[in-house]
Structure 1
Amino acid sequence: MRQQNMGYIMLLTLVATLGGLLFGYDTAVISGAEKSIQAFLIEGLNLSSFAHGATVSSALIGCIAGGAISGLLASGIGRKNSLLVAAVLFFVSALGSGNPEFLFFTKGEPTMGLLYMFNFYRVIGGIGVGLASAISPMYISEIAPAHMRGRLISFNQFAIIFGMLVVYFVNWSIAKGQSIEWINQIGWRYMFMSEAIPAAIFAILLIFVPETPRYLAMQGHNDKALNILERINGAEVAKKILGDIKVTLASTSSSRIFAYGKKVIVIGILLSVFQQFVGINVALYYAPRIFESMGAAKDASMLQTIVMGLVNVVFTVVAILTVDRWGRKPLLITGSIGMAIGMVAIAMLSFFKVIGISTLVFIIIYTASFMMSWGPICWVLIGEIFPNKIRGRAIAIAVATQWAANYFISSTYPAMMEFSGGGTYLFYGAMSILSALFVWKMVPETKGKSLEEMEKVIEKL
């Protein structure tokens, strides 16, 4: 009996996680460019703070759409080809967002039409993010052995955070030593266009990876599925896994979304809602602005953002090392408690107008708690709790809900901050407490179970 082919498993995981890297890159690139977009388009057209928030968050509209159609694409053209579509969308968005005047507008002249075109290209990238956010963890979950599935899916979150860290460095290197005028005219364009390089690499590498064995089995291509499973697990284990897959595909005559009950769908949706309502993407999208509000200069605020990015990477590694040993639920509850402490403290500091190193410390406590728990573990659970027959559509519902929640939280942040900074952070703290209660009461433990074994757990919910 041949041992698992770890090199092959890691190679497939690495390629799939490039979708996560681009997810992180695309969503965080706006953090360095949002003040320039505000100066060039929002203030240039005398628009409101609501228009600013909507423009910063416009990619999320595409994320919602991409998440919503991910199930149709994943079931129709497969997991691999859906990721290839995402790579092309990332590439087009990168070039278009950096040069929205292309073909139709005068460069450097703000108009409402140009604002719409910029938002259009950001939405295109958002569709790519929505697809990658759903299908990258789906791809990994369907090729990963059960005992290491949590770690491998968590690598996707590591790639997301690494992509954010890379773009923080890229934004900082572009802005370093340059005048505000240059950044507002030219620098922000380079920030967006830099994404075209990893997008092209992702598309090329996808050509050489196989489709997932579970998708192939659902399409009746059992020989191809067995071949991939043998390369991953060895011949003897591969036959058993394929047999289990066939049993689950034949276990129910219905593939309706609620064929396994409503509770598992509700759990997937609430995992997604809580991951966003705790406020993490406010910290990611508006990081330089938050640090500037604490008195940091522009270059220093970019550096503090990089520090936060490094913290994110370190604590995502903590999740990778512990998710398959400690389990999903303990990590989620621990992270929720840490996030609540961080956000409530930030709220109190805001109420008393205390600005300084203490604020940075509690932001780091908050983000570290998220990155060791809800950041990766939410994606792990979404990738593994849904049965084979409904996985594509169920993940699409959960991911579309997640991006809708993300859009709501991110686009309302500027207006909420104008009303009450302390109240805004207190709301995120309250959501962190509720998220712990939700996990404790409703979420099943999935550690060490195969995707097929998980169906038995779901049937008992």
Structure 2
Amino acid sequence: MALEKNIFNHKYIIGISFISALGGYLFGFDFAVISGALPFLRTQFMLDPWWEGFLTGSLALGCIAGCLLAGAIADRKGRKPGLLIAAAIFAGSSLGIAFSTSFMMFVMLRFIAGIGVGMASMLCPMYIAEISPAKVRGRNVAINQLTVVIGILVTNLLNYFLADIGPEAWRWMFGLGVVPSLIFLIGVLWLPESPRWLMKVGQQSKARAVLLKIGSETFVNSTFLAIEQSLSGNKKQSLKAVFEKSVRPAVIVGIVLAVFQQLCGINVVFNYTSTIFESAGANLDRQLLETVAIGVVNLVFTIFAMWQVDKLGRKPLMMIGALGLSVVYLILAFLLQNQFPASLISVFVLLGISLYASSLAPVTWVLISEIFPNNIRGVASSVAIISLWAAYFILVFTFPILAAKLGTFGPFYLYAAICFLGFLFIKRKVKETKGQTLEELEQSLARH
């Protein structure tokens, strides 16, 4: 252990990981704020199920645009400029939404907020993966998910206390996002550029200087050589390159995992907590209190995942989460269908959250940040994460419509089936990645 401490500058690595992961906090804020605001927005804009789904999903449409923008910036200008732009978008959109005067203005600004979320969702885990040594990469990338769930919890708490303000409470809920946005913007100014990107664009001396801050001379030399080898022969970034035969298996796995993380259904619990518990007879205060409980459980089990992702591994956690959610959804659907008390429904909602938070939520981001070769990581990550946000839009847009037609319980039977299929896919197609450098993973992909 003493030798390992001398090899790596752990304080520095953790510091830059947490700063870049503040983008995750803002992701969590924009993701969670809608849950507390929806009861007020339904009245403010007189929403039917279709428009409620569209208003909620407009964030995801912006996220798709954000991923496209982030991919281009990440590969041409670097990871750091993309993070700075995302921070600025977060700040501006938070204030804009707070002062919205019409439904269309709200949706447009929510779309713009989604651009920032989409950029952060791609760039933050990618950046952390590229500056982290292999032994702690899973934990460090999971820091991004930790800040996401802290953002969700803090936002849910604020929503709960702001609800007493009255019909205009939703404006404060969104407007307070400007505070963490500015903190993130200032923090990113201090971050170094990714050494892997610096080497890709021929700035070897700058890359070596960054690596020396991360670890010892031995670590720098070995990492430098491995990155050079992985980049040699093909430095071109293009969408066509992402679907070449040699990398296609990794891209397919990345896309399927990204889509599954959303279509597994748990995000309807995050975004439509009030709808679910209203159907169980809970009043507004109880509905918002449930969002706080969800935030607490989400945080506790995300910390558990950070502890286990580099020990137990990626694949076992994903398999446990997928199969466990399938069973929980069947029980939850039965309870909702038969009008069981809200307190019992809450138990299984929280159990579902705990399974997701300790598996699919953080580990999917870890795998997406790891499985693509260095020379196409930016574009390939964009493709996977665009797929994720497209799936999120489908999920949150369709839930109010399905719930209106089938009952609130109906969609959970569908999500149970999707989770079981996801379990089978992970078991057959996903390979373990813990403890390997990004370059070793690339070599493994090339052999297969």
TM-score tier (shorter): over 0.9
Q: Check if 1:139 corresponds to 2:127.
A: yes
Alpha carbons 2:67, 2:118 under 8 Å: kept: yes
Structure 1 counterpart of 2:17, one-letter code: T
Superposition map of 1:133-212 within 5 A: 133-176=121-164, 178=165, 182=166, 184=167, 186-212=168-194
Alpha carbons 2:280, 2:340 under 8 Å: kept: no
Q: TM-score normalised to the size of structure 1?
A: 0.93
Structure 2 counterpart of 1:94, one-letter code: S
Of the candidates 383, 405, 409, which is equivalent to residue 395 of structure 2? 409
Separation (CA, whole Å) in 2 of partners of 1:173 and 1:439: 41
Of the candidates 424, 436, 443, which is equivalent to residue 449 of structure 1? 436
Give 1:251 deviation, angstroms: 4.5
Separation (CA, whole Å) in 1 of partners of 2:50 and 2:40: 16
Separation (CA, whole Å) in 1 of partners of 2:39 and 2:294: 19
Separation (CA, whole Å) in 1 of partners of 2:87 and 2:32: 17
Separation (CA, whole Å) in 1 of partners of 2:275 and 2:41: 13
Give 1:351 deviation, angstroms: 2.8
Structure 2 counterpart of 1:392: 378
SS in 2 for 1:444: coil
Of the candidates 292, 303, 324, which is equivalent to residue 289 of structure 2? 303
Give 1:226 deviation, angstroms: 0.6
Alpha carbons 1:31, 1:284 under 8 Å: kept: yes
Separation (CA, whole Å) in 2 of partners of 1:310 and 1:400: 28
Q: Check if 1:231 corresponds to 2:204.
A: no
Give 1:252 deviation, angstroms: 4.2
Of the candidates 358, 372, 393, which is equivalent to residue 372 of structure 1? 358
Alpha carbons 1:341, 1:366 under 8 Å: kept: no
Superposition map of 1:277-296 within 5 A: 277-296=263-282
Structure 2 counterpart of 1:96: 96
Separation (CA, whole Å) in 1 of partners of 2:247 and 2:365: 21
Q: Check if 1:258 corresponds to 2:243.
A: yes
Give 1:32 deviation, angstroms: 0.8
> Which digits, 9 at most, give the CA deviation of each residue in 1:344-398, with x for residues without a partner?
1111123323233221111111111000000000000000000000000000000
> Which digits, 9 at most, give the CA deviation of each residue in 1:104-140, with x for residues without a partner?
xxxxxxxxxx211111110110000000000000000
Structure 1 counterpart of 2:44: 40
Alpha carbons 2:280, 2:336 under 8 Å: kept: no
Separation (CA, whole Å) in 1 of partners of 2:222 and 2:152: 40
Identity %: 37
- Higher deviation after alignment, 3-12 or 282-291: 282-291
Separation (CA, whole Å) in 2 of partners of 1:314 and 1:431: 26
Separation (CA, whole Å) in 1 of partners of 2:337 and 2:29: 33
Separation (CA, whole Å) in 2 of partners of 1:132 and 1:321: 23
Structure 2 counterpart of 1:30, one-letter code: I
Alpha carbons 2:135, 2:435 under 8 Å: kept: yes
Alpha carbons 1:4, 1:233 under 8 Å: kept: yes
| Aligned residue pair count | 439
Separation (CA, whole Å) in 2 of partners of 1:351 and 1:55: 27
Structure 2 counterpart of 1:107: none
Separation (CA, whole Å) in 2 of partners of 1:84 and 1:343: 39
Superposition map of 1:92-131 within 5 A: 92-101=92-101, 114-131=102-119
Structure 1 counterpart of 2:78: 78
Alpha carbons 1:153, 1:379 under 8 Å: kept: yes
> Which digits, 9 at most, give the CA deviation of each residue in 1:59-108, with x for residues without a partner?
1110111122321111112111101100011011100000023xxxxxxx
Alpha carbons 2:282, 2:342 under 8 Å: kept: no
SS in 1 for 2:310: helix
Structure 2's unaligned 5+ residue stretches are none
Structure 2 counterpart of 1:422: 409
Alpha carbons 1:68, 1:399 under 8 Å: kept: no
Separation (CA, whole Å) in 2 of partners of 1:407 and 1:68: 16
Distance 1:289 1:423, change over 3 A: closer
Separation (CA, whole Å) in 1 of partners of 2:311 and 2:155: 32
Give 1:254 deviation, angstroms: 5.8
Alpha carbons 2:25, 2:151 under 8 Å: kept: yes
Of the candidates 426, 429, 432, which is equivalent to residue 439 of structure 1? 426
Of the candidates 4, 25, 28, which is equivalent to residue 8 of structure 2? 4
Of the candidates 5, 18, 24, which is equivalent to residue 22 of structure 2? 18
Separation (CA, whole Å) in 2 of partners of 1:302 and 1:350: 18
Structure 1 counterpart of 2:196, one-letter code: R
Structure 2 counterpart of 1:248: 230
Structure 2 counterpart of 1:104: none
Structure 2 counterpart of 1:61, one-letter code: L
SS in 2 for 1:296: coil
Give 1:299 deviation, angstroms: 1.7
